[in-house]
Amino acid sequence: MPMNIITRYKDKYTSLLKETQIPLMQSRIKILAFGLILLSSLTFIILLNSLVNPHMTIVIRLLVLLLTMAFALYLLLEKAKWQLSGHIFLLSLCTFIWTNLIFYTSGINLVTIQLSLIIISSSFYILGKNWGILYSLANVVPIVIHLLNSRLQNGQVTITQFQISNLSFLLALIVNFGILIIMHYEFFKSFYHSHYKERELNAQLQTALKEAQEATRLRSDFLSSMSHELRTPLHAVIGMINVLSIENPRKDQEENLAILRFSAENLLALINDTLDFSKMNAEKVLLNTADFNISTLLQNIHASFKSKAEQKGLDFRLKTDFESNPLYVNGDQNRLTQILNNLVSNAVKFTDNGGRVELSVTTTAQIGQQVVLLFAVKDSGIGIPKNKQEIIFEPFLQANNNITKRYGGTGLGLAIVKRLINLHESELKLVSEENIGSVFSFEISYTLAKPELPEEKIPVVSIPVQEISNLNILIAEDNIINIMLLKKILDQWDCNYSLSKNGQEALDMVKTGTFDVVLMDIHMPVMDGFEASRHIRELPDANISKIKIIALTASSDVDIQESFNFTYLDDYLLKPFSPLLLKEKLEAVVVQLSGN
Ligand code: ADP
């Protein structure tokens, strides 16, 4: 029968430990179980021993202690109530010490000190910090008071003999030391286990982090090479549409070309946005700060959307509260341009004929050199239904399924804008009503910068077409389709041009020829466009080294501002460029040359 009970409780104990998977909890249960079993066994033996020469009060105290311990053990194993069991265990020990101090021996002995140490350690180990402090004070304070009291009375501290037999006393000493050792051993084991586990987990985490970073890098590399591969033929398609558009197409051909352009530009926007968005997720995109004139930036944005807005019959205005005096600030002008371009482009896109679009910037606060600007892009367009006002900031989501068909777009613009604004430690806000319009706004805090001397502007003079035809142009380009496109465009204006297939060839031809301008592709085999431009600038003959160089690149505008070294380049053109833009750049070269 007793064997059955022991096996039953052993199983209960094992399953209790199994259920409690956390090592710290397991060690708490172990400490409590060992303490209860050892102390109740000790009490039982001392009780038996004291029956030889019975002393009523001792027998009763030991009996009460034994029953309480047994009850605590029952609560722990049978009911799995380890906290309640822990309190009963500690309270019974405290009561034993208090009654010992006050009523019986009126003194302390080694066993009292041992029990006190057991209470202090086990209260912290089993019940935690707060209960640990409470139980420790509850049994240390009476002992200290007793010690002080006895010192005051006798001038010395008495350590009294316990009122049980020497054998019981010795046994109690040994068992109590055993409990103290087991308790600390168990707790250290769980502490070491947690520490070891933590180190192991940290190592696993580090490996996983490295793997994830590597995977992200690979994905980003893959995306950027894929997008480059996709962009190259797409540039040719858009370039060809441009060429066909200036070759006096028939009315029906014009319509077909418009559809072609819409789809191709949409696809290009998707590729560019996907790349930008993935970069933003993969790498820690940092803001590149420098001093800049925010008034000029706003005027440029206004100018670049003005004609599109006019074509759609929209009234597009720029409003600032610092109109008369230009504002210079320190910040990332490319990212601000990207944010505003996206928002204004959406406002123009989603506003129909006769509507209004307004880009406004107001100073909301200025403390010392710090200025807070509120940017708002307001339109009287189609608006966004209330239930779509959150999802439109998610990547690839648009307000409804007809948007792509009717207006184009990728659904990535606002997701990018939102991240860029967050990067400025601010938030993008939206107020919109369907068929009334939308306002996208955000605040950015800038440090004021010193105004620079106004840049010397190259006067844009309209020049008759034949003047471009006098230019001697060197094309440095390796892609045959791009060469074909450039030839077709330049042939339209009767320009003189020569061809080189890489940077080295361009350099050699510049040394021997008499060119006015080089249209320099950046990504070329043998020697890239940067390298070739640097070599040209280092040539000893000043007439040759000062030749105008216009870079041709498929990178995005932001990438160019961030990574291009303009020391060797005069200007750049983003592929696919419109023939008109190339013409403007070439006309500017003519103006500069005639000014020299
Ligand atoms: P895209 O313009 O390429 O579709 P965006 O992320 O820039 O992608 O915009 C997501 C969606 O938010 C748009 O498809 C449109 O439904 C809605 N939206 C954005 N700006 C406006 C606006 N000014 N007026 C109305 N709807 C807008």
Q: Model confidence over 431-479: pLDDT tens digits? A: 999 999 999 999 999 999 887 645 444 444 444 554 788 888 999 998 8
pLDDT mean over 104-131: 86
Sequence-distant (6+) residues with CB within 8 A of 242 are: 485, 489, 576, 578, 579
pLDDT, position 463: 46
Q: How far is the CA of 416 from the centre of ligand 1 (A)?
A: 12
**Collapsing DSSP states into helix, strand and coil, what is residue 230?**
helix
pLDDT(364) > 80 = yes
User: Encoding tokens for residue 464?
Assistant: 């008759």
* DSSP secondary structure, 44-70, as one string: HHHHHHHTSS--HHHHHHHHHHHHHHH
β 328-331/290-293 pair status:
antiparallel
pLDDT, position 460: 44
The residue that leads in pLDDT, 494 or 76, is 76
- Greatest mean pLDDT among 128-142, 273-287, 540-554 lies in 128-142
pLDDT mean over 363-372: 91
Q: How far is the CA of 225 from the centre of ligand 1 (A)?
A: 28
Query: In this structure, which residue's CA is closest to atom 25 in ligand 1?
Result: 383
Provide, for the chain, the percentages of residues in helix, strand and coil under a 3-state DSSP scheme, each rounded to the nearest 5.
Answer: 60, 15, 25
- Sign (positive or negative) of CA dihedral 566, 522, 416, 375: positive
Q: How far is the CA of 43 from the centre of ligand 1 (A)?
A: 80
pLDDT, position 261: 83
Q: Which residues line ligand 1 (CB under 6 A)?
A: 342, 346-347, 350, 379, 381-384, 392, 398-399, 403, 409-415, 438
**Which tens digits make up the pLDDT trace of 414-436?**
988 998 999 899 999 999 999 99
Q: How far is the CA of 240 from the centre of ligand 1 (A)?
A: 29
pLDDT, position 457: 43
**Which tens digits make up the pLDDT trace of 318-361?**
999 877 778 899 998 888 988 999 999 999 999 998 899 999 99
To test the pocket of ligand 1, the residue of 384, 391, 420, 432 to mutate (highest count of ligand atoms within 8 Å of its CB) is 384
Q: How far is the CA of 282 from the centre of ligand 1 (A)?
A: 24
**Which tens digits make up the pLDDT trace of 248-285?**
888 888 888 888 887 888 788 788 777 777 777 666 56
pLDDT(62) > 70 = yes
- Specify the ligand 1 atom closest to the Cα of 411: 8
**Collapsing DSSP states into helix, strand and coil, what is residue 315?**
strand
pLDDT, position 87: 96
pLDDT(14) > 50 = yes
pLDDT, position 216: 78
User: pLDDT averaged over the chain?
Assistant: 84
* Res. 558 pLDDT band, cuts 50 70 90: low
pLDDT, position 351: 94
In angstroms, the CA 424 to CA 331 distance is: 9
Task: State the Cα torsion 333-334-335-338 to the nearest 10°.
Answer: 120
pLDDT, position 40: 93
User: Is the previous residue joined to 233 through a cis bond, with omega within 30 degrees of 0?
Assistant: no
**Collapsing DSSP states into helix, strand and coil, what is residue 547?**
coil
User: Encoding tokens for residue 233?
Assistant: 């033929």
For the question of whether the overall pTM of this predicted structure is more than 0.85, the answer is no
* Res. 570 pLDDT band, cuts 50 70 90: confident
pLDDT, position 236: 83
To test the pocket of ligand 1, the residue of 280, 350, 388 to mutate (highest count of ligand atoms within 8 Å of its CB) is 350
pLDDT(162) > 60 = no
* Res. 204 pLDDT band, cuts 50 70 90: very high
